[in-house]
Amino acid sequence: MTPLRVGIVAEATGRPIRLAVAESARMGATAIQADAVGDLLPAQLGETGRREFRNLLRSYSQDLAALHVPLRRGLDIPADLQPRIDAVRKAMQLAFDLGGRRVVVPCPKLPDESESPRAQLMRESLTALGQFGDRVGTMVALEIGFDPADKVREYLATFDTGSLKVTFDPANLMVHGHDPLANLAPLKGVVAHVHARDARNAGLSRGIQEVPLGAGDVDWLAFTATLQVMEFDGYLCVDREQGENKLADVTNGVKFLRRFTGPLLG
């Protein structure tokens, strides 16, 4: 079976990107996901900067698991859509140049009516990104959660491109009422990236709450075993969006995942 590789989300450490790379190595992870902003804004990072960042990663035995493109509006919203598409394209080129070849982009709720204006706009956006990905060799890993796996798979199958994949976040699935384990296997061949986050049901008044990795309702033994059966070849990037000490939670999360992936696997 395919070995599982563990990374971290750089922003969850609360450190600048270069220090986050060092933190990842200290934790025993071997890759980072980072936002394509600030020091990694594609427009600000020329050939020299790209070469220096590749050297930084290499010096700590790290890889770039993926770049994440934060979007204020979705790919189904007409206002200022072209600049958003251009920003994702630039991040895709940067990811390729840095060796990551995966770009994480938020995925809006899939349209129910295929002929609606929103549906057509979203299809045009994803078609443009998928075709660009086919040309440059970078996958668009759509961060899903709103919709069940079967609907996601059926939707992506309608595109004539191999570059549209998904980012699977079990906590995100849980928040939207979906069983993460039941929705994982149907996406075999489609999952390009994983956010290792956990969550649990905190009761009727509080609903589903994010918690440190291993403290929630996700069955990580079954989850990682399913990924191996699926021959998943991306990274599980430990993330933490809430909490008072996210750095410690991420550090402990890497240790927790090592119980299922083995201490020597990258």
Q: What is the pLDDT of residues 184-242, one digit of tens each?
A: 999 999 999 999 999 998 776 678 899 999 999 999 999 999 999 999 999 999 999 98
Where do the domains of the chain lie? 5-261
- As assigned by CATH, the class of the 5-261 domain is alpha beta
Determine phi and psi for 216, rounding to 5 degrees: -110, -160
Pull the structure tokens for residue 107.
Answer: 């995925």
Question: Would the pTM of this model clear 0.85, i.e. be above it?
Answer: yes
Residue-wise pLDDT for 18-42, tens only, equals 999 999 999 999 999 999 999 999 9
Q: Which is nearest to 166 in space by CA: 156, 178, 181? A: 156
The predicted structure's pLDDT at residue 266:
44
* Mean pLDDT on 251-262: 90
Q: With cut-offs at 50, 70 and 90, classify the pLDDT of residue 262.
A: low
Q: What is the pairing mode between strands 31-35 and 63-68?
A: parallel
Q: Is the pLDDT of residue 260 over 90?
A: no
pLDDT classification of 135: cutoffs 50, 70, 90? very high
pLDDT band at residue 263 using 50, 70 and 90 as cut-offs: very low
Parallel, antiparallel, or unpaired for β 5-9 and 235-238?
Answer: parallel
Distance CA 91, CA 100 (A): 10
Nearest-angstrom CA–CA distance, 185 and 191: 10
CA–CA separation, 232 and 217 (whole Å)? 22
pLDDT in tens, 150-175: 999 999 999 999 999 999 999 999 99
Q: pLDDT band at residue 264, thresholds of 50, 70 and 90?
A: very low
Q: What gap in Å lies between CA 129 and CA 111, rounded to an integer? A: 18
